[in-house]
Structure 1
């Protein structure tokens, strides 16, 4: 769905002349983060940051909490560890959790991969639909459709920018200042947003979040809504030439919607497979650490201290942080996928979030 602002801008019933403040509402911020009003830190943690780095930072947070808290409760913990086998119980439980989690993730991966399998007829239909879409995109842009996903989206974004510039030229001499002002504001906002998205897409490889991020930054559905509103509000002022340009611009923006959704779907599958691979890689050292501590290290066997912190606390904190890495990685991936899915639930000019309505 679109991330653009959707404030009501039609105030002509109160005043036949729209003031500057209402015209400004045609423009929106160029990034999804700015339109949503999120902080850079939250956006980095949930979306932009490398998932392995985010999982590592959460593991360091767990390590810090265990070390800091353990220094205050060490005497109670030492007694409990020596008499109740607390360390062995904790890490034996983590072994079961790791095995269960890996099994679950592998099951999800199998489901994702199974969606790509199918009989010959189904595969032929998928191929035909893809080629039809590419042929239609070629008709709109006047050039062969790029094979690279980022270049494909970039071509549609730049094509919409060209139509916006043409629209501005066709309405430059219009006698209605109100109409000309809104068109100028709309086209300026569109071209600025297109330039930012195109620059972000330039040279990006599929598989990185940057491609999807740039696609989310381009709020095509808000632009479609504005075209529909302008066409309805200024029926008498719009010439046949201007109407034709608006229709072509709307077609390009409407093509961007399904193209973005298709690439987003492919990205989700890519991410889930990457998640499965990374969890498999992290599960082995996590199992080794949990098994080693459970089998060979008991609470009474750990004595002494390092950097002013008892070694028993270090062993428990480091071991627990390492054994939780597969789960933390799952959290980091799901946070990104779920956030993207929530912000793109609807296709077309629908605004689902109250903050943007």
Structure 2
């Protein structure tokens, strides 16, 4: 295998960390977009809105006071919010009904879904030489990651045994990529709950497209020069990466259904109190009934309207919190197949990440 020059090759494997935007992503941003509980994020956004309103009132107290004394203007604002809240709830619940209606199918469709799921698990079981694969998503994913790790380690050993320096140099970036991404995936699994979203977080970090591309380059570069065992290991890696991609998309579809159901229920819980408060404000708002006193330029009327306005925005804030996470998941798990849609880190950045991990730290504790 050893004398092929670089000019004769269709391409060398790039050193890159796909999904590198997560490496330099701040903890606060990650919490806000992904890991934070949506109702806690909602509460934080509501406090931010209330604080902003009160802050603006402190900066321009006379302008705000003049605006609030126009009772008709304030009532028109809350009338608009009331209509929008009712419409928002109606639209979201209607969408939820459409999505859930897909689950109401005949028995043949349900049978096909069940057969496909069982077949998927059986094929993975054949690959890992186990009769029964784990039923829990997190444990199921650990099995796939362990297979990717062990097959990659075996490919590296075979390259060393053959003594082909070119082959070793060409697969080294792929080995490094597996090292980094499997390490990140295991860390994510350890830090999250074992539910569907915890597994999906792993999928956000693991980019199978780059690794499939790397294996295709190896196959095209060396072709018939590969030994039977090397080709078998590469085929196993390709199949395992396909299992990983398929499982991620399946768990993502489950997550979307769960997230939409949660959004609908939370929106209904929040909207009823919000509608009651808005209705009360519209019926009772009268500047002449509010004491004309101030404390640090904040009047009771101003505080009352600011709080009522924040409560009126609650349904929209709930929708924002859930849609932000759903859109983030969509953008970071776009099913691109063999295509690569995002740029990675520079080579030196990748090496810095790789040197912080060791092969022995990954996979050795799979029996725990």
For the structure 1 residues 243 and 80, does the alpha-carbon distance in structure 2 shift closer, same or farther, using more than 3 Å as the test? closer
Q: Which residue of 2 aligns with 1:78?
A: 65
Compute the displacement of 1:258 (Å). Answer: 0.9
- For 2:50 and 2:117, locate their aligned partners in 1 and report how far apart those are by CA, in whole Å: 49
Where does residue 35 of structure 2 map in the other structure? 48
Q: How does 1:260-339 map to 2 (within 5 A)?
A: 260-303=248-291, 304-339=293-328
Question: Mapping of 1:83-232 within 5 angstroms?
Answer: 83-143=70-130, 144-202=132-190, 204-207=193-196, 209-232=197-220
Specify the alignment match of 1:246 in structure 2: 234
* More displaced 10-residue stretch of structure 1: 287-296 or 244-253: 287-296
Q: 1:83 to 1:252 in 2, by over 3 A?
A: closer
Unpaired segments of 5 or more residues in structure 1? Answer: 1-10
Rounded to whole Å, the distance in 2 between the matches of 1:124 and 1:295 is 56
**Closer, same or farther in 2 for the Cα pair 1:171/1:76, shift >3 Å?**
closer
- Structure 2: runs of 5+ lacking an equivalent: 347-368
Match of 1:61 in 2: 48
Question: Is the CA contact 2:18–2:343 (under 8 Å) kept in the aligned structure 1?
Answer: no
Q: Distance in 2 between matches of 1:300 and 1:351?
A: 64
Q: Hey, what does 1:342 align to over in structure 2?
A: 331
Tell me which moved more, 41-50 or 243-252: 41-50
Which residue of 6, 16, 26 corresponds with 1:12? 6
Contact 1:305 1:311 in 2 (8 A): yes
Taking the aligned partners of 1:83 and 1:235, their CA distance within structure 2 comes to 79
Q: Distance in 2 between matches of 1:345 and 1:192?
A: 21
SS for the counterpart of 1:85 is helix
Q: Distance in 1 between matches of 2:69 and 2:205?
A: 56
State the number of aligned residues.
Answer: 338
Q: TM-score under structure 1 normalisation?
A: 0.86
2:359 match = none
Contact 2:274 2:311 in 1 (8 A): yes
CA deviations on 1:117-163 (whole Å, 9 max, x unpaired) are 10111111111111111111111122212211222222111111111
Structure 1 residues 329, 317: CA separation in 2 closer, same or farther (over 3 Å shift)?
same
- Alignment deviations for residues 221-278 of structure 1 (CA, whole Å, 9 cap, x no partner): 2111101111111236522211111111111111111111000010011111111111
Identify the match of residue 353 of structure 1 among 323, 342, 347.
342
Summarize the Cα distance change of 1:245–1:80 in structure 2 as closer, same or farther, 3 Å threshold.
Answer: closer
Sort the Cα spacing of 1:272 and 1:356 in 2 relative to 1 into closer, same or farther, 3 A: farther
Q: 1:83 to 1:326 in 2, by over 3 A?
A: closer
RMSD: 2.6
The answer (yes or no) to whether the contact 1:30–1:196 under 8 Å persists in 2 is no
Question: TM-score normalised to the size of structure 2?
Answer: 0.83
